[in-house]
Amino acid sequence: MEEKYLLYRKRWALFIPIIIVAFFFSGCGNHEQDSKADPDSKDEKVPQAAKGVKGMLTEGPGKFSGEKFDEKEIKQTVQKWPKGLSAEEAYNRLVYLLAEDYKTYVDQFDSLSTDFQLNDTPDAGKTTEGKTSHTLNVAVLVDSSGSMAGKVNGQTKMDLAKRSVKNFVSKLPEGANVSLTVYGHKGSNSESDKEMSCKSIEEVYTLAPYKESSFKASLNEFKSAGWTPLAASIHSVKDIFEEGTKEDQKPTNVVYVVSDGIETCDGNPVKEAKQLNRSNIKAVINIIGFDVDNQGQKALKEVAEAGGGTYATVNSSAELDNQFKTEQNRIKSEWRKWALQNHGDVSEQYFDKVGELSDISDGMQKLQQQEEDRFRLVMDKYLSDHLEEYGDLNQLVNDRSKKIKSYRIDRRQEIKKEISKSYREAKRKIRDRDVD
């Protein structure tokens, strides 16, 4: 029995060191695993905090930023920090824990529109959809058939028409585009010249803003001569407006026809007027009948109605001038209403934009103050007594606050200047288009 007992003791003596070594390595392994699993351990990898304001604005949110702030957990975390941290190391850890998320405010600053929207320009005629537009295009069609050589009050109808048309277009609103087309101005009203005359349709003043010298010169390029291709002339307007219209515009297109008679070239002006009015051009066709008989008045009125516009008969130079003046006054009235409305709308947009800018700035300021207060709380309560470089840490926090504050103030001032500049430009556009 004694021998068995001695043998048993020898065996245990051999196993005990093995067990001790196994326990030792097992304990080390668990400690290493716990260290990796514990984000608050001294081995935690804390990123380098940004030194420039751009990085400061994007390095958040911190672990305990915003609504995640928990002083109890923060205290436990800070108490686990290694001893002897430098100011920069402590600052990196504070940023890692407490940096706020400024990206939302940066994005709001960047996306705030400084542009002002003007209401569409007033409608110069009744459109099929009742819409208005940004640009006014006016195409004037002048009948140059042989009958326009007839006289009224001692002057030819052609000369009177030219004078009235010039006065009319010269007083259109600023920025309006003008086109002048003549038809029937070649050949004669004889049967032999019909084919040539009915093809004579020419835009003598290309759609563009009014220039007195150029427009006056265009009036001298034609005289009364042949037949009356009214339908073909109306048809040509579509190409004129399409050529002079940019894709990003929504123009109001208006046609004024001055004629002393009906279609004589076998065309269908009613059909052409209706198609033009209902096309993507949506042009409105107004007709002034100059010294026209009853049959002609009826036919021209039908064309105007098909084109969504109005018809008026004049029998003298004074009546022709008055009719164009009526059109001028109507357009002027519409543009004055437009100007008054836009002055109010633009002012309202200005205050809305400035108010939105202030809200963004105030929100960012509040967030920054919250961040700074939390930095100070942690520093004063848990770092001031045992951090040797506390003064340097305080300076790092001050620098951070100053840079973020400067960004907010500078960005606000920069955007405010852009808003004010755009506001003045919008007001200038309204003044330029407001006719006296």
Q: Could you give phi then psi for residue 209, rounded to 5 degrees?
A: -55, 150
In this prediction, what percent of the chain has a pLDDT beyond 90?
63
Give the type of residue at 17: P
pLDDT for position 2: 46
Question: Given a cut of 70, is residue 168 above it in pLDDT?
Answer: yes
pLDDT band at 209 (very low <50, low <70, confident <90, very high): very high
CA distance 394 to 102: 21
What one-character-per-residue DSSP string does 322-351 give? HHHHHHHHHHHHHHHHHHHHHHHHHHHHHH
The per-residue pLDDT for 323 is 87
For residues 264 and 341, the model is more confident at 264
Query: Could you tell me which of 408, 385, 383, 386 has the C-alpha nearest to residue 396?
Result: 383
Reduced to 3 states, what is the DSSP secondary structure of residue 313?
strand
Cα separation, 411 vs 317, in Å, equals 63
Look up residue 259 and give its amino acid.
Answer: S
pLDDT one-digit tens code per residue, 96-141: 999 999 999 999 999 999 999 887 656 544 333 333 345 789 999 9
Q: Where do we find the tokens 């150029």?
A: 214
What three-state secondary structure class fits 289?
strand
Distance CA 100, CA 56 (A): 9
Q: Yes or no: say if 99 and 371 are a contact pair by the CB < 8 Å rule.
A: yes
Averaged pLDDT for residues 213-236:
93
The pLDDT > 70 percentage for the chain reads: 84
Q: Residue 30: what pLDDT?
A: 42
Look at the pTM and tell me if it is higher than 0.75.
no
CB contact at 8 A, 124 and 430: no
Mind listing the pLDDT tens digit for each residue in 375-423? 999 999 999 888 889 999 999 999 999 999 999 999 999 999 999 999 9
Amino acid 432: pLDDT: 67
Candidates 240, 242, 235, 247; CA nearest to 179 is 240
For the stretch 110-119, pLDDT in tens is 999 999 988 7
Rounded to whole angstroms, the Cα distance separating 158 from 220 reads 11
- For residues 298 and 301, what is the distance between their CA atoms, to the nearest angstrom? 5
pLDDT of 104: 95
**Average pLDDT of the segment spanning 318-330:** 84
